[in-house]
Amino acid sequence: MNKINGLIAATFAAFKADGSIDLESIPSYVDMLINQKVVGVFICGTNGEGPSLSTEERMQITERYLECVAGRILVLVHVGHSSIEEARKLATHAELNGADYISSVSAFYFKPSSAQNLVDCMANIASAAPKTPFFYYHIPAVTGIQLDLIEFLTLAEAQIPTLAGIKYTASTIHEYQACLNYKNRKYDILFGYDELLLPALAVGAKGAIGSTYNYAAKLYNKVVQLFHEGKHEEAEKLHFKAVEMIRLLVKYGPIPTQRAIMEKTGVFLGNSRLPLANLSQENISNLYKELEYSEFLDIVASC
What pLDDT, in 10s, does the model give residues 235-283?
999 999 999 999 999 999 999 999 999 999 999 999 999 999 999 999 9
| Phi and psi at residue 188, to the nearest 5° | -90, 115
| Whether residue 109 lies in the annotated active site | no
Residue in 29, 137, 176, 187 annotated catalytic: 137
Query: Per-residue confidence at 2, pLDDT binned at 50, 70, 90?
Result: confident
| Whether residue 293 lies in the annotated active site | no
| Phi and psi at residue 6, to the nearest 5° | 135, -170
Q: Which of 5, 15, 2, 9 is nearest to 256 (CA)?
A: 15
Q: Tell me what the pLDDT averaged over the chain comes to.
A: 96
Percentage of the chain beyond pLDDT 70 is 100
Residue in 29, 65, 101, 167 annotated catalytic: 167
Domains and CATH numbers, the chain: 6-216 (3.20.20.70)
CA distances (Å), origin 231, targets 14, 22, 228, 234, 298: 38, 42, 7, 6, 22
What pLDDT, in 10s, does the model give residues 276-303?
999 999 999 999 999 999 999 999 999 9
What pLDDT, in 10s, does the model give residues 132-181?
999 999 999 999 999 999 999 999 999 999 999 999 999 999 999 999 99
d(CA 242, CA 246): 6
